[in-house]
Amino acid sequence: MGKKIVVITGSPRKNGNSFAMTDAFIKEAKARGHSVIRFDANSLNVGGCRACENCFKSGKACAFDDDFNSIAPLILEADTVVYTMPVYWYSIPAKIKAVIDKTFPFGMEHENIAGKGCALICCCAEPDISVMDGVRFSIERTAALLQWHMVGEVLIPGVQNPGDIEKTDGCKQAASLAERL
């Protein structure tokens, strides 16, 4: 039986390298009978968490009504959440970071959603794979806090310009990640 997968992207470049890997992942996941819903964080209006601790008290995930309230119910229903992004200054791009920060209530006892799968698809311009450590560590720790299990990671260094991903096996690795679900 197919899984429900939520993919959240963090790149502003629609023809960029992380989007190419995202597309390869989604194509393979759908071919394997999974349902996939994709959110491009850069196109959404999601503000950062304000630590008001009013999560779910208004019937919505966030008391501040933004696009996260459309994403939250689908994350709650998902079997697996996949984050895809390039590295920005050795870290997570701001727009997807806002989405990740707002998953805070999912770690609270009354909204615990333990047991989901989590995956990361990431690329960076520098040839050193350790440049992605900040992103990788943050996603792995977020998954651990939420009691999600890491399904896998695709980490591709050395891709700066649109199309550079085609000189690597990044799209193949992303498709292979979908096979492991």
CA–CA dist 162, 135 (Å, integer): 21
Instruction: State what percent of residues in the chain have pLDDT above 70.
Output: 98
Q: Is the four-CA dihedral 85, 170, 15, 125 of positive or negative sign? A: positive
Residues 36 and 30 sit within 8 Å (Cβ to Cβ): yes
CATH of the domain at 33: 3.40.50.360
For residue 123, give both structure tokens.
């690329």
Domain residues for 83? 4-179
DSSP E strands, 14-100: 35-40, 80-86
Q: Dihedral angle at the C-alpha atoms of 65, 6, 151, 20, nearest 10 degrees?
A: -110
Q: Over 80: is that where the pLDDT of 108 sits?
A: no
Q: Over 80: is that where the pLDDT of 89 sits?
A: yes
pLDDT at 111: 65
Count of domains for the chain: 1
What single DSSP character describes residue 34? -
Q: Which pTM value belongs to this model?
A: 0.96
CA–CA dist 105, 15 (Å, integer): 33
For range 102-109, the mean pLDDT:
80
pLDDT at 109: 61
pLDDT-derived band at 58, boundaries 50, 70, 90 = confident
